[in-house]
Amino acid sequence: MSDLHQRLEGRKPKFAIILGSSLGDVAEAVTDPLVIPYAELSGFPLPKISGHAGKLYVGKLGGKEVAVLAGRAHPYESGNAAAMRPAIEQLHNADVTTLVLTNAAGSLKTSIGPGSLMMLTDHINYAGMNPLIGTHSDADFVSLTDAYDPGLRKQLLAAAKKEKIPLKQGVYCWFSGPSFETPAEIRMMQIVGGSAVGMSTVPETIIARRLGLKVCAISTVTNLAAGIKGASPSHEETKREGAKAAGKMRRLLTRFFKDMKA
Protein backbone atom coordinates (compact mmCIF):
# COMPACT_ATOMS: atom_id res chain seq x y z
CA MET A 1 0.00 0.00 0.00
CA SER A 2 1.10 3.57 -0.63
CA ASP A 3 0.48 6.96 0.95
CA LEU A 4 -2.12 9.18 -0.69
CA HIS A 5 0.25 12.00 -1.65
CA GLN A 6 2.33 9.48 -3.61
CA ARG A 7 -0.68 8.49 -5.73
CA LEU A 8 -2.13 11.88 -6.67
CA GLU A 9 -0.20 12.24 -9.96
CA GLY A 10 0.33 15.94 -9.40
CA ARG A 11 -3.24 16.68 -8.37
CA LYS A 12 -3.65 18.95 -5.36
CA PRO A 13 -7.14 18.72 -3.86
CA LYS A 14 -7.84 21.19 -1.06
CA PHE A 15 -11.30 19.75 -0.45
CA ALA A 16 -12.42 16.26 0.50
CA ILE A 17 -15.86 14.69 0.77
CA ILE A 18 -16.75 11.54 2.71
CA LEU A 19 -19.90 10.02 1.26
CA GLY A 20 -22.63 8.38 3.29
CA SER A 21 -24.75 5.36 2.40
CA SER A 22 -25.83 5.11 -1.25
CA LEU A 23 -24.46 8.52 -2.24
CA GLY A 24 -22.13 7.14 -4.90
CA ASP A 25 -23.85 9.35 -7.47
CA VAL A 26 -21.79 12.25 -6.09
CA ALA A 27 -18.55 10.41 -6.87
CA GLU A 28 -19.80 9.75 -10.39
CA ALA A 29 -20.08 13.52 -10.89
CA VAL A 30 -16.32 13.97 -10.51
CA THR A 31 -14.78 14.77 -13.90
CA ASP A 32 -11.50 13.33 -15.18
CA PRO A 33 -11.28 11.16 -12.07
CA LEU A 34 -8.27 9.37 -10.74
CA VAL A 35 -9.85 6.34 -9.04
CA ILE A 36 -7.90 4.52 -6.33
CA PRO A 37 -9.30 1.54 -4.38
CA TYR A 38 -8.97 2.00 -0.64
CA ALA A 39 -7.10 -1.32 -0.52
CA GLU A 40 -4.17 0.38 -2.26
CA LEU A 41 -3.90 3.28 0.22
CA SER A 42 -2.26 3.17 3.64
CA GLY A 43 -4.74 3.63 6.45
CA PHE A 44 -7.85 3.71 4.29
CA PRO A 45 -10.56 1.37 5.59
CA LEU A 46 -12.18 -1.47 3.73
CA PRO A 47 -15.92 -0.81 4.25
CA LYS A 48 -17.80 -3.92 5.22
CA ILE A 49 -21.30 -2.44 4.90
CA SER A 50 -23.32 -2.46 1.68
CA GLY A 51 -23.78 0.96 0.09
CA HIS A 52 -20.11 1.92 0.64
CA ALA A 53 -17.89 1.33 -2.41
CA GLY A 54 -14.45 1.72 -0.84
CA LYS A 55 -12.90 3.86 -3.59
CA LEU A 56 -11.27 7.29 -3.69
CA TYR A 57 -12.07 9.62 -6.59
CA VAL A 58 -9.78 12.59 -7.21
CA GLY A 59 -10.85 15.08 -9.88
CA LYS A 60 -12.99 18.16 -10.46
CA LEU A 61 -16.39 18.92 -8.96
CA GLY A 62 -17.83 22.33 -9.65
CA GLY A 63 -14.48 23.25 -11.14
CA LYS A 64 -12.56 22.60 -7.91
CA GLU A 65 -10.08 19.80 -7.31
CA VAL A 66 -11.64 17.43 -4.78
CA ALA A 67 -10.98 14.05 -3.20
CA VAL A 68 -14.18 12.05 -2.80
CA LEU A 69 -14.22 9.06 -0.46
CA ALA A 70 -16.95 6.70 -1.61
CA GLY A 71 -17.51 4.89 1.64
CA ARG A 72 -16.41 5.01 5.27
CA ALA A 73 -15.70 2.68 8.14
CA HIS A 74 -18.17 3.01 11.01
CA PRO A 75 -17.22 2.64 14.67
CA TYR A 76 -19.85 -0.11 15.03
CA GLU A 77 -17.90 -2.31 12.60
CA SER A 78 -14.94 -2.69 14.97
CA GLY A 79 -15.70 -0.79 18.17
CA ASN A 80 -13.02 1.70 17.15
CA ALA A 81 -14.21 5.32 17.17
CA ALA A 82 -10.99 6.33 15.38
CA ALA A 83 -11.56 3.99 12.42
CA MET A 84 -11.42 6.89 9.95
CA ARG A 85 -8.50 8.67 11.59
CA PRO A 86 -5.74 7.18 9.37
CA ALA A 87 -7.64 8.15 6.21
CA ILE A 88 -8.32 11.69 7.43
CA GLU A 89 -4.68 12.03 8.47
CA GLN A 90 -3.70 11.00 4.94
CA LEU A 91 -5.96 13.71 3.52
CA HIS A 92 -4.40 16.24 5.89
CA ASN A 93 -0.89 15.14 4.90
CA ALA A 94 -1.88 15.63 1.24
CA ASP A 95 -2.75 19.28 2.08
CA VAL A 96 -6.53 18.96 2.14
CA THR A 97 -7.86 21.86 4.23
CA THR A 98 -11.65 21.37 4.16
CA LEU A 99 -13.70 18.24 4.85
CA VAL A 100 -17.32 17.87 3.78
CA LEU A 101 -19.08 15.02 5.57
CA THR A 102 -22.31 13.40 4.41
CA ASN A 103 -24.42 10.71 6.02
CA ALA A 104 -27.77 8.99 6.06
CA ALA A 105 -29.87 9.90 9.09
CA GLY A 106 -33.21 9.32 10.72
CA SER A 107 -35.32 12.39 11.41
CA LEU A 108 -36.57 13.33 14.85
CA LYS A 109 -38.98 15.86 13.37
CA THR A 110 -41.88 15.30 11.00
CA SER A 111 -41.01 18.68 9.44
CA ILE A 112 -37.75 17.09 8.20
CA GLY A 113 -39.17 14.16 6.29
CA PRO A 114 -37.52 11.38 4.27
CA GLY A 115 -35.77 12.76 1.21
CA SER A 116 -34.78 15.99 2.97
CA LEU A 117 -31.24 17.32 3.17
CA MET A 118 -30.22 18.70 6.57
CA MET A 119 -27.10 20.77 7.21
CA LEU A 120 -25.55 20.10 10.61
CA THR A 121 -25.28 23.10 12.91
CA ASP A 122 -24.02 21.06 15.89
CA HIS A 123 -23.99 17.54 17.27
CA ILE A 124 -24.67 15.50 20.39
CA ASN A 125 -22.29 12.62 21.06
CA TYR A 126 -24.54 10.04 22.72
CA ALA A 127 -22.33 7.11 21.69
CA GLY A 128 -20.00 7.73 24.62
CA MET A 129 -16.93 7.22 22.44
CA ASN A 130 -14.28 9.66 21.27
CA PRO A 131 -11.67 9.04 18.54
CA LEU A 132 -9.01 10.99 20.45
CA ILE A 133 -9.01 8.75 23.53
CA GLY A 134 -5.62 7.23 24.24
CA THR A 135 -3.38 9.50 22.15
CA HIS A 136 -2.11 11.54 25.14
CA SER A 137 -1.50 14.95 23.59
CA ASP A 138 -2.44 18.39 24.86
CA ALA A 139 -3.70 19.08 21.33
CA ASP A 140 -6.46 16.50 21.89
CA PHE A 141 -8.32 18.98 24.08
CA VAL A 142 -9.78 20.49 20.94
CA SER A 143 -12.62 23.00 21.05
CA LEU A 144 -15.78 21.91 19.30
CA THR A 145 -17.43 25.32 19.43
CA ASP A 146 -18.38 25.97 15.81
CA ALA A 147 -17.18 22.49 14.87
CA TYR A 148 -19.28 22.93 11.73
CA ASP A 149 -17.69 26.02 10.24
CA PRO A 150 -20.08 29.02 10.12
CA GLY A 151 -18.57 30.29 6.88
CA LEU A 152 -19.00 26.97 5.12
CA ARG A 153 -22.55 26.68 6.43
CA LYS A 154 -23.36 30.09 4.98
CA GLN A 155 -21.98 29.01 1.61
CA LEU A 156 -24.01 25.78 1.68
CA LEU A 157 -27.19 27.73 2.33
CA ALA A 158 -26.39 30.07 -0.57
CA ALA A 159 -25.72 27.12 -2.87
CA ALA A 160 -29.01 25.46 -1.86
CA LYS A 161 -30.90 28.68 -2.55
CA LYS A 162 -29.38 28.97 -6.03
CA GLU A 163 -30.26 25.37 -6.82
CA LYS A 164 -33.74 25.73 -5.30
CA ILE A 165 -33.03 22.80 -2.98
CA PRO A 166 -34.67 23.05 0.46
CA LEU A 167 -31.88 22.69 3.02
CA LYS A 168 -32.97 22.09 6.58
CA GLN A 169 -30.70 22.85 9.54
CA GLY A 170 -30.36 20.95 12.77
CA VAL A 171 -28.47 19.08 15.46
CA TYR A 172 -27.22 15.57 14.66
CA CYS A 173 -27.22 12.96 17.42
CA TRP A 174 -24.60 10.22 17.21
CA PHE A 175 -25.50 6.74 18.41
CA SER A 176 -22.99 3.92 18.02
CA GLY A 177 -25.30 1.48 16.20
CA PRO A 178 -25.57 -0.87 14.45
CA SER A 179 -28.97 -1.49 16.04
CA PHE A 180 -31.45 1.32 15.54
CA GLU A 181 -32.47 3.52 18.44
CA THR A 182 -35.43 2.74 20.68
CA PRO A 183 -38.52 4.96 20.75
CA ALA A 184 -37.53 6.01 24.30
CA GLU A 185 -34.08 7.08 23.11
CA ILE A 186 -35.65 9.06 20.29
CA ARG A 187 -38.00 10.83 22.71
CA MET A 188 -34.99 11.74 24.84
CA MET A 189 -33.12 13.21 21.87
CA GLN A 190 -36.19 15.23 20.92
CA ILE A 191 -36.35 16.66 24.43
CA VAL A 192 -32.69 17.73 24.44
CA GLY A 193 -32.90 19.43 21.05
CA GLY A 194 -31.86 16.85 18.47
CA SER A 195 -33.05 17.03 14.89
CA ALA A 196 -31.68 13.82 13.34
CA VAL A 197 -29.94 10.67 14.48
CA GLY A 198 -27.22 8.57 12.88
CA MET A 199 -24.22 6.29 13.31
CA SER A 200 -21.29 8.25 11.83
CA THR A 201 -19.89 11.74 11.14
CA VAL A 202 -19.26 12.91 14.72
CA PRO A 203 -15.97 11.01 15.17
CA GLU A 204 -14.80 12.23 11.76
CA THR A 205 -15.64 15.81 12.72
CA ILE A 206 -13.65 15.49 15.95
CA ILE A 207 -10.64 14.02 14.13
CA ALA A 208 -10.74 16.69 11.43
CA ARG A 209 -10.96 19.52 13.94
CA ARG A 210 -8.07 18.00 15.86
CA LEU A 211 -6.02 18.24 12.66
CA GLY A 212 -7.14 21.80 11.94
CA LEU A 213 -9.41 21.05 8.98
CA LYS A 214 -12.55 23.09 8.41
CA VAL A 215 -15.68 20.93 8.49
CA CYS A 216 -19.24 21.08 7.23
CA ALA A 217 -21.73 18.23 7.11
CA ILE A 218 -25.02 17.31 5.45
CA SER A 219 -27.44 14.52 6.33
CA THR A 220 -29.64 12.78 3.83
CA VAL A 221 -32.79 12.03 5.79
CA THR A 222 -33.81 8.49 4.87
CA ASN A 223 -36.51 7.74 7.45
CA LEU A 224 -38.41 8.93 10.46
CA ALA A 225 -36.86 7.68 13.68
CA ALA A 226 -38.36 4.93 15.83
CA GLY A 227 -41.61 5.74 17.61
CA ILE A 228 -42.64 8.54 15.25
CA LYS A 229 -45.87 7.77 13.40
CA GLY A 230 -45.09 6.13 10.07
CA ALA A 231 -41.54 5.16 11.05
CA SER A 232 -40.11 1.82 9.96
CA PRO A 233 -36.32 2.21 10.09
CA SER A 234 -34.28 -0.45 8.29
CA HIS A 235 -30.98 -0.62 6.45
CA GLU A 236 -32.82 -1.35 3.20
CA GLU A 237 -34.85 1.83 3.66
CA THR A 238 -31.67 3.76 4.37
CA LYS A 239 -30.06 2.59 1.13
CA ARG A 240 -33.23 3.09 -0.94
CA GLU A 241 -34.04 6.59 0.28
CA GLY A 242 -30.37 7.61 0.26
CA ALA A 243 -30.10 6.73 -3.42
CA LYS A 244 -33.23 8.77 -4.18
CA ALA A 245 -31.72 11.87 -2.57
CA ALA A 246 -28.29 11.44 -4.15
CA GLY A 247 -29.17 13.66 -7.10
CA LYS A 248 -29.98 16.59 -4.82
CA MET A 249 -26.76 16.09 -2.87
CA ARG A 250 -24.82 16.02 -6.14
CA ARG A 251 -26.37 19.29 -7.34
CA LEU A 252 -25.87 20.99 -3.98
CA LEU A 253 -22.21 20.07 -3.66
CA THR A 254 -21.45 20.89 -7.29
CA ARG A 255 -22.86 24.39 -6.80
CA PHE A 256 -21.14 24.72 -3.42
CA PHE A 257 -17.73 24.09 -4.93
CA LYS A 258 -18.44 26.08 -8.10
CA ASP A 259 -19.21 29.22 -6.06
CA MET A 260 -16.45 28.73 -3.49
CA LYS A 261 -13.65 31.26 -3.58
CA ALA A 262 -10.48 29.19 -3.73
Known catalytic residues are: 21, 52, 74, 76-77, 104, 199-200, 223, 235
- HEC readout, 185-221: HHHHHHHCCCCEEECCCHHHHHHHHHCCCEEEEEEEE
The distance from CA 64 to its chain's CA centroid, rounded to whole angstroms, is 19
3-class secondary structure for 82-120? Answer: CCCHHHHHHHHHCCCCEEEEEEEEEECCCCCCCCCEEEE
d(CA 100, CA 172): 15
How many angstroms separate the CA atoms of 81 and 176, rounded? 9
Q: How far is the CA of 98 from the CAs of 31, 54, 149, in angstroms?
A: 19, 20, 10
Cα of first residue to Cα of last residue in the chain, in angstroms, is 31
- Identify whether the C-beta of residue 107 lies closer than 8 Å to the C-beta of residue 232: no
Determine the 3-state secondary structure of 153 from DSSP: helix
Residue 61 DSSP SS3 = strand
Q: Are strands 55-61 and 31-37 parallel, antiparallel or unpaired?
A: antiparallel
> What is the β-pairing status of strands 98-107 and 196-198?
antiparallel
Cα–Cα–Cα angle for 138, 140, 141, rounded to 5 degrees: 80
